[in-house]
Structure 1
Amino acid sequence: MSASPKTYTTVAVAFHWLIAILLVGMVFFGWWMEDLRANISGPQDFAAVQAAYNWHKTVGITILLLSLGRLAWRFTHPVPPLPAHMKPWEKGLARFTHVAFYAVMIGAPIGGWVTASATNFPSRLFNIEGFDLPRLPVPQTEEFYELAGSMHSAGAWLILTLLALHAGAALKHHLIDRDGVLQRMIPGLNVPPQAPKE
């Protein structure tokens, strides 16, 4: 049996950062879209809103495909073990956060797809006419649209909450524990030297 790796593979690192950037970007882009929609005053504004929503859907589907690819890579490639010094509750929280991230990386785009499928508006990928995202078989009612949209919006807050937990833990490992965990996702990063003992 081969030994556990000390760092993540280059592919895993690329998946991690690309998906993270796209996810956070889509949260803020989504909020901007809501403001844009709330200030429609004419046909040109409506067209701009539709274009923005189509780009949001396009990137959302991209995130879904990347997340499924990342999950497949995770199942077929071993990952570095958690540091031995971590307490059981810390390891449990770390595992929970990772599972929750996978759930939201896959669930949020699907939730957006469900929401888009509940309307009569076409979802044009890359804003190309005729290159439409297929509709999912969901009710096309105002009530269902509002429910699906609310759940999709809640996913944005879940993303930011998980991000805060994840980033906080990474900084703790780097600045307090100084155990090199952050180096696994940022190759070449120097670990701060241990503070001199009194």
Structure 2
Amino acid sequence: MRDVYSPIAITLHWILAVLLISMVFFGWYMEGLQERMLAGEGVALSDVQFAYNAHKTTGLFILALSLFRLGWRLTHPAPALPAGMKPHEVWIAKATHWGFYALMIGLPLGGWAAASATPFPTLLFNNPELVLPKLPVPQTEEFAAFAGSAHGAGGWAILILSGLHVAAALKHQFIDRDNLVARMIPLLKR
């Protein structure tokens, strides 16, 4: 078994990391933009629609990349964890990685469900000729609010899980000194 991830796995890891964290902050920006529009602060509806459609389009791109990454992971096993890891650390590492997969796939699907419960179309790439079909979900404000809240909570889950992931990587790099981080950042000395 290899002791580093493949270039494809590394590339997908970093692209998805940047996209996921960026999407959380863009989601907050987008909601603020809508609040400013509703408060009459000079934000145009077209700007809000543009932001929401960009968020949805990027979310679907994340979904596609995440499904590809999951397929890659299932057909290309990860390098073995260091032999000195405690059993609870191994369990936490595996649970964290599968939690990321659940969020990377679940959040875009949840966002799609929330968008499907509103009367507004999702224009892919903000192109009126590329309308995303709606999922068969209840067309009620209650469902839209619930799905939207769950989607927002998932954003927090991404940030929390990312923080734990980075903290664990730093622990392995500077306390354990087991070269675990070099598997995902090959430029680090082994």
Fold conserved between structures, TM > 0.5: yes
Once residues 187 and 140 of structure 2 are traced to their aligned partners in structure 1, the CA distance between those partners, rounded to angstroms, is 52
Q: Which amino acid aligns with 1:178?
A: R
> Which of 30, 33, 44 matches 1:33?
30
Once residues 7 and 158 of structure 1 are traced to their aligned partners in structure 2, the CA distance between those partners, rounded to angstroms, is 27
Cα distance, 1:44 vs structure 2 = 5.9
Cα distance, 1:190 vs structure 2 = 2.7
Structure 1 runs of 4+ aligned residues shifted over 4 Å read none
Q: Partner residue of 1:194?
A: none
Once residues 79 and 159 of structure 1 are traced to their aligned partners in structure 2, the CA distance between those partners, rounded to angstroms, is 21
Q: Partner residue of 1:117?
A: 116
Q: Which amino acid aligns with 2:128?
A: E
Q: How many residues align?
A: 188
Q: Partner residue of 2:73?
A: 74
Q: Is the 8 A contact 2:36 2:43 kept in 1?
A: no
Which digits, 9 at most, give the CA deviation of each residue in 1:18-74, with x for residues without a partner? 011000000000000111000113896111000000000000000000000000000
1:149 pairs with 2:177: no
Q: Which amino acid aligns with 2:171?
A: K
Q: Partner residue of 2:133?
A: 134
- Change in CA separation of 1:179 and 1:154 when aligned onto 2, cut-off 3 Å: same
Once residues 48 and 62 of structure 1 are traced to their aligned partners in structure 2, the CA distance between those partners, rounded to angstroms, is 21
Q: Partner residue of 2:21?
A: 24
Secondary structure of residue in 2 paired with 1:179: coil
Q: Partner residue of 1:183?
A: 182
Secondary structure of residue in 2 paired with 1:97: helix
1:7 pairs with 2:4: yes
Once residues 5 and 83 of structure 2 are traced to their aligned partners in structure 1, the CA distance between those partners, rounded to angstroms, is 17
RMSD in angstroms over aligned alpha carbons?
Answer: 1.2
Indicate the percent of aligned positions where both proteins have the same amino acid: 55
Once residues 79 and 111 of structure 1 are traced to their aligned partners in structure 2, the CA distance between those partners, rounded to angstroms, is 28
Cα distance, 1:188 vs structure 2 = 1.2
User: Which structure 2 segments of 5+ residues have no match?
Assistant: none
User: Which structure 1 segments of 5+ residues have no match?
Assistant: 192-198
Which digits, 9 at most, give the CA deviation of each residue in 1:77-127, with x for residues without a partner? 121011110000000100110110000000000000000000110100110
Q: Which amino acid aligns with 1:50?
A: Q
Q: Partner residue of 1:170?
A: 169
TM-score in terms of structure 1 length: 0.92
Q: Which amino acid aligns with 1:35?
A: G
Once residues 132 and 42 of structure 2 are traced to their aligned partners in structure 1, the CA distance between those partners, rounded to angstroms, is 23
Which digits, 9 at most, give the CA deviation of each residue in 1:110-163, with x for residues without a partner? 000000000110100110111011100011111110000000000011001100
Alignment of 1:40-119 (within 5 A): 40=37, 41=40, 45-119=44-118
Q: Is the 8 A contact 2:116 2:137 kept in 1?
A: yes
Secondary structure of residue in 1 paired with 2:122: coil
Cα distance, 1:169 vs structure 2 = 0.4
TM-score in terms of structure 2 length: 0.96
Higher Cα Rg: structure 1 or 2? 1
Cα distance, 1:189 vs structure 2 = 1.1
